[in-house]
Amino acid sequence: MSMPSQTAVRFLFFSVLAAPLLAQTQIGGGTCNSSSLNGTYSVSITGRQVSSTGTFTSVLLANGSATFDGQSTVTIALTEDSNQAVATSLNWSGTYSVQANCVAVANITTGGSATLNVMLYNQGKDFVMTGSDATYSYAGSGVLQPQPTACSAATLNGVYTFNAQGYGLTSTSVSGVANGAGLLQFDGQSNLTVNVTAVTSGAASSAVTLTGSYTISSNCLGSATLTDSNSHAFGMSFSIYSVTAVNTNFCLLYTSRCV
């Protein structure tokens, strides 16, 4: 993407259009096994690398899906944004096991090498997750997608509120934290308008209107390409986990690069 000569600042935002998961009811009781983690889940993951002085050196935000076979195999397909690149495909696979106390461990061996600690709740329909590899420490969550999934552009139709948090980047260096909130207006036919206000520490808030198009595949993953009035490019990726008419919810990864 061609840029003006000024210093470029990129924002990485991650948003979940649902209540945050702060604490969940204890499961216990020796009720889980490998079949408790079964099906395709909408997942969101954040990754952070911190230096010994407490400085963020690398950040990663990703969303997509994780498919568990109910026995021992997991496949994870994500769209990843980091301080190095945006909209990168991240494909992991490996094995997993679930203990009776509903704590699981997934060992990623293909596409990367990572250990993920997964805690199930809601009868295995949801989980929270932590983990690490050689670069990042991870945190994330997953929600079982309804079956059968049959999403399309029409799945998102109407006006949705969102709030987000993420990082401000100068070139490829983390320069601060950022927060955003706004509205997404989908027309159900692939057209999208976004009104968002972003705030970074030490700077006044900035409001911007974005317009563009979006696509949603049948597996409930999607993306959007947008521009503002100055023709700066923005990108979004979606991972839908609820498709009821009155409660369509999704994870949203929002990346902007502007001056």
Domain boundary among 90, 112, 144: 144
Contact between residue 173 and residue 12 where contact means Cβ atoms under 8 Å apart: no
Cβ count within 10 A of residue 82: 22
Among candidate residues 97, 120, 144, the one where a domain is terminated? 144
pLDDT above 50 for 56 = yes
pLDDT at 200 over 80: no
Among residues 110, 144, 178, the one where a domain terminates is 144
Q: Is the pLDDT of residue 170 over 50?
A: yes
Classify residue 2: in a domain, yes or no: no
Considering the domain boundaries, does residue 155 fall inside one? yes
**Domain shared by 139 and 163, yes or no:** no
In whole angstroms, what is the distance from residue 175 CA to residue 177 CA?
7
Does one domain contain both 124 and 26? yes
* Mean pLDDT computed over 105-115: 96
Q: Are residues 60 and 139 in the same domain?
A: yes
Paired strand residues for 144: 41
Q: Examine the domain organization and report whether 75 and 121 are in the same domain.
A: yes
Statement to judge: residues 175 and 59 lie in one domain: no
Band (pLDDT 50/70/90 cuts) for residue 1 is very low
Q: Is the pLDDT of residue 141 over 50?
A: yes
CATH of the domain at 53: 2.40.128.120
Q: How confident is the model at residue 106 (pLDDT cuts 50, 70, 90)?
A: very high
* CA-CA-CA-CA dihedral for 160, 151, 37, 163, to nearest 10: -10
Say if 208 falls within a structural domain: yes
Whether 64 is covered by a domain: the verdict is yes
Q: 135 and 159 share a domain?
A: no
Q: Is this model's pTM higher than 0.85 or not?
A: no
One domain, residues 27 and 129: yes
Specify the pLDDT at position 23.
44
Take residue 7 and report the two structure tokens written for it: 């210093």
What is the residue whose two structure tokens read 């974005």?
A: 210
The domain tally of the chain equals 2
Residue 46 lies in a domain: yes
11, 75, 106, 181 from 165: Cα distances, Å:
10, 27, 27, 9
> Which domain, by its residues, includes 244?
9-15+149-258
- Classified as helix, coil or strand, 35 is helix
Residue 3 is assigned to a structural domain of this protein:
no
